[in-house]
Amino acid sequence: MFTKRIDAVGDACPIPVVKTMKALGELSVESTLEVVVDNETAVFNVTNFLRGKNLNPISEQEAEQRFLIRVVVPDQTAVIQPAVESETEKYAGRSVVAIGSDRMGLGDDELGHVLMKGFLYALTQVSQTIEAIVFYNSGAKLTVEGSVSVEDIKQLEDAGIDVLVCGTCLNFFELTDKLAVGRVSNMYDIVEKLSKAGKVIRP
């Protein structure tokens, strides 16, 4: 069986996912795809991407800061053929909320925190119009233990809204193990959600 190996060591998010996506598109026969990365966030992002393509990746740590992700790709058609409605159809007419800060607006920080809490609560009252919420930069702080907005965000997630939290941002603020709601995501996934939204809301 043909084996294609991708070196993504040292690549920042979302490059490992992008390299993996491009490699899948180049495979036309049953093959094994191997992706080498240097951090656990990249492992999570790449394996999640592959599972989203109905594949079953496995990962192992080869050495310190070196991880191998391996997956058998049956054929190109199986990888690119959607099993359900397209993402464009799914998102048509519905909004994606992009939250890039833990406060709303410029000026007084204390007021900004109060406004952001109120904004997230207000979203729970119109959740039927929202498809996804993405949290990045200091906005990721809203999804961790101790955040006053965790319960509101959980309510939104329980309503079926996809809550994505930037993994690079959680790592930067050293909050990865404090995540209380949502799923760790990557910039490729975030951009994809934003680009296919009927409307993007940025508070």
For 20, half-sphere exposure in the C-beta direction (CA atoms, 13 angstrom radius) is: 37
One DSSP character per residue, 171-200 reads HHTT-GGGB-SSEEE-HHHHHHHHHT-SEE
Q: What's the Cα-to-Cα distance from 25 to each of 12, 78, 81, 86, rounded to whole Å?
A: 21, 11, 12, 18
How far does Cα 80 stand from its chain's mean position?
19
End-to-end CA distance of the chain: 50
Look up residue 103 and give its two tokens.
Answer: 């406060």
Of 61, 77, 80, 79, the C-alpha closest to 69 is: 61
Is-catalytic flag, 13?
Answer: yes
Alpha helices in 14-75 (DSSP H): 15-26, 40-51
Q: Are 31 and 1 in contact (CB under 8 A)?
A: yes
CA atoms within 13 A on the CB side of 16: 31
Choose, from 8, 13, 79, 153, the residue flagged as catalytic: 13
| Active site residues per annotation | 13
